[in-house]
Structures are given as C-alpha cells and as structure tokens.
C-alpha cells in the first residue's frame, strides 16, 4: 500500500492523524532489518502496525513477550519485531510456542503466521492447541494463498480462484477457520480485515489479554500472487473491496462464516467464552491426586 492509501485506510477506520504520526510500530521494529521483504500493497505490514498498537494499548512488558512464526511471507513477522522472536519451521510455530509457554508460563506468547502454515502443514497443531487451551494467541494472516512459494492454492483459496497449482480454478472445499478452531475449543475467535484497523487492533488486544487459546484471523491482500493472477487488481483494491464485502456480525454462528467470493465476508468477534486453561487444569488435577507432594506449577504469588 502506498503511504497515501495507508492513510486512507486508517482514516476509514477512525484512527486519528495524531495516532498515525506517532506510530508505535517504530518502537517495536528491529530498525536495522528494514526495509522488510513484503511487496508494495501487501497487507502483512498493516497487520504488524495493528499488532504494535495492540501491544501499546495492553501496556505489557515487552521483555515478557515472545513472538513465534512459521514459514511464509507472514512467517517473516517474528524477524522484524524487537522482542524475543523465533522463526521456526513450516507449520510448527504452535508446538514451539507450546513448549515455550509451558516452560515459562510468565511469558505472553503470540504465534504470528500465514493461513497455509497454520491450517495446512500445521493444521494438526492448530486444533490440538485449541483443544488444550494453553494460554497462547494466534494471529493468522489469511491471504488466500501460499505467498512465499509463489501463489499455490491453500486450504483457504476460494472456489474458482486461479493459483499456480490450481490453474483452472479452485475446486477443493475450503477450511472455515473460525469454525475449525471453535470446534476444537478456542475461547476467543475473531475475524477482521486489514481495512478495519481499529477493530483489528482491538481484537488483537482482546485476544492477547484473553486467558486460553485465542485466534484472530486477518484477511489480508496478496496483490502479487493472488489478486493480480485473479484480475482482482492491486492491494488497495482488495482493501476497498473488504469495505464493501465485509459484514460485521459479532457473535455470528461459526457455521455461517465460511468464505466465498460471492457471499458477504462475515467479520467480527465470533467466540469469547470461558473454558479451563491448560496449566490451571494440570495444577488442579495434580494437586488433587498428589496433595502436598505437588507444588503448583508456573505460579507466582498465588497467581498463574
């Protein structure tokens, strides 16, 4: 996105010009690694802006934040953030994060990765992490494609879309990601697009603050390998389209939020429930069985 387009996008979602001037992303980026690798018009950078704002709002100690990415264009996010940040292997950011969080429960752990990484090769880890309800947050950037490898079809590619390995148009069914993770046990699930930056930022804030497994699906343009190939224009065209296409339905039944290019794109907060968290459950069960022989794990001053 151009500077001007970006500005319009933010204004569209009600971020004040003042806020834009004082961009918290500058404080969290590894400046020595700029410029980043993302194409002009790519939405991933916008998601990172929102993430930086979310962290600012949460006012958390960045020393206690770890960001873990898999592999892909989105997978490069970890490498640009000036926090403890880990670029892992394709699909395995979640189990890495699981080990990190379990080994040091005082860390806030965020997994930041792409739709292919998290739902295809890493799909099994995604549902098991939701099932366990360990306290981690997943930011899933859905650009309908495998960007990094040149635009092959993903489990998210809409019907009819052309991709290099689907040259005559997508005919496989898609994952409905909110439904998938909600069914597996996620306690917070939201979907926004890079157009609604203020909502997206708030959702990230809520997800990180929420105890248990939370996921924010962010719809994001990949102009280079998805949009152009499907004659859908540039990044900004998709962002504008998001504005028309998206219909906000908080609390929507996750059965109804599957994505199709010729149906409204349902966005909003779909799931926000309470369910026992992994370490709490472990502590409860082990104390019950072992009594005094067990010392609560990961507990400081009586707080997990």
Ligand X SMILES: Cc1ncc(C[n+]2csc(CCOP(=O)(O)OP(=O)(O)O)c2C)c(N)n1
Name the residues that contact ligand X, by CB under 6 A. Answer: 71-74, 90, 113-117, 141, 143, 145-149, 154
Residues 233, 242: Cα–Cα separation, whole Å: 13
Q: Could you identify the residue written with the tokens 């909502």? A: 199
Beta bridge partners of 113: 140
Q: Does 82 bind other proteins (CB under 8 A)?
A: yes
Please tell me whether the peptide bond between 35 and the residue prior to it is cis, using omega within 30 degrees of 0. yes
- In angstroms, give the least distance from the CB of 198 to other proteins: 28
Q: Does 263 bind other proteins (CB under 8 A)?
A: no
Q: Which H/E stretch holds residue 146?
A: strand 145-146
Please identify which residue in 85, 143, 196, 220 interacts with Mg ion, judged by CB under 5 A.
143
Burial of 132 (0-12, 13-18, 19+ CB in 10 A): buried
Beta carbons of 44 and 58 less than 8 angstroms apart: no
Structure-block tokens of residue 195: 């157009």
User: How many Cα neighbours within 13 Å face the side chain of 235?
Assistant: 25
Q: Does 110 bind other proteins (CB under 8 A)?
A: no
Residues from 93 through 122 that contact Mg ion (CB under 5 A): 114-116
- In angstroms, give the least distance from the CB of 169 to Mg ion: 18
- In angstroms, give the least distance from the CB of 113 to ligand X: 6
Q: Could you identify the residue written with the tokens 């004040």? A: 16
Candidates 15-23, 150-158, 179-187, 293-301: pick the segment binding other proteins (CB under 8 A). 293-301
Name the 3-class secondary structure at 254: helix
- What does 182 interact with, of ligand SF4, ligand X, other proteins, none (CB < 5 to 8 A by kind)? none
Q: Does 139 bind ligand SF4 (CB under 6 A)?
A: no
- Whose Cβ is closer to ligand SF4: residue 115's or residue 206's? 115
Candidates 11-19, 89-97, 136-144, 285-293: pick the segment binding Mg ion (CB under 5 A). 136-144
Please identify which residue in 87, 240, 249, 261 interacts with other proteins, judged by CB under 8 A.
87
| Residue 107: closest CA among 135, 72, 79 | 135
**Residue window 13-52: x/- pattern of binding to ligand SF4, with contact defined by CB under 6 A:** -------------------------xx--x-x--------
Residues 117, 99: Cα–Cα separation, whole Å: 18
Q: Could you identify the residue written with the tokens 């400081």? A: 300
- What does 30 interact with, of other proteins, ligand X, Mg ion, none (CB < 5 to 8 A by kind)? other proteins
What are the residues whose beta carbons fall under 8 Å from the beta carbon of 283, sequence distance 6 or more?
296, 297, 298, 299, 304
Residues that bind Mg ion (CB under 5 A): 114-116, 143
Residues that bind ligand SF4 (CB under 6 A): 38-39, 42, 44, 73, 143, 147, 222-225
């Amino acid at each position: 996105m151009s500077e001007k387009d970006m500005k319009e996008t933010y204004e569209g979602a009600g971020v004040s010009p003042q806020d834009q001037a004082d961009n918290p992303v500058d404080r969290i980026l590894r400046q020595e690694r700029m410029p980043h690798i993302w194409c002009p018009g790519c939405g991933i950078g916008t998601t990172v802006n929102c993430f930086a704002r979310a962290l600012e709002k949460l006012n958390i100690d960045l020393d206690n934040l770890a960001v873990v990415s898999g592999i892909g264009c989105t997978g490069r996010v970890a490498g640009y953030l000036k926090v403890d940040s880990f670029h892992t292997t394709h699909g395995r950011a979640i189990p890495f994060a699981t080990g990190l969080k379990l080994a040091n429960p005082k860390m806030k752990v965020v997994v930041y990765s792409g739709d292919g990484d998290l739902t295809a090769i890493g799909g099994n880890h995604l549902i098991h992490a939701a099932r366990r309800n360990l306290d981690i947050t997943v930011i899933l950037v859905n650009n309908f494609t495998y960007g990094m490898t040149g635009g092959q079809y993903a489990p998210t590619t809409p019907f009819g879309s052309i991709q290099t390995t689907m040259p005559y148009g997508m005919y496989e069914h898609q994952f409905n990601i909110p439904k998938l993770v909600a069914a597996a046990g996620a306690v917070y699930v939201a979907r926004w697009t890079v157009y609604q930056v203020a909502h997206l930022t708030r959702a990230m804030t809520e997800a990180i603050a929420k105890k248990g497994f939370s996921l924010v699906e962010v719809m994001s343009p990949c102009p280079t390998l998805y949009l152009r190939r499907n004659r859908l224009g540039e990044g900004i065209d998709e962002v504008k389209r998001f504005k028309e296409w998206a219909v906000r339905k908080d609390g929507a039944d996750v059965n109804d939020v599957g994505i199709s290019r010729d149906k409204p794109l349902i966005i909003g907060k779909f799931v926000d429930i309470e369910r026992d968290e992994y370490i709490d459950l472990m502590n409860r069960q082990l104390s019950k069985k072992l009594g005094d022989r067990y010392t609560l794990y990961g507990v400081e001053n009586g707080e997990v």
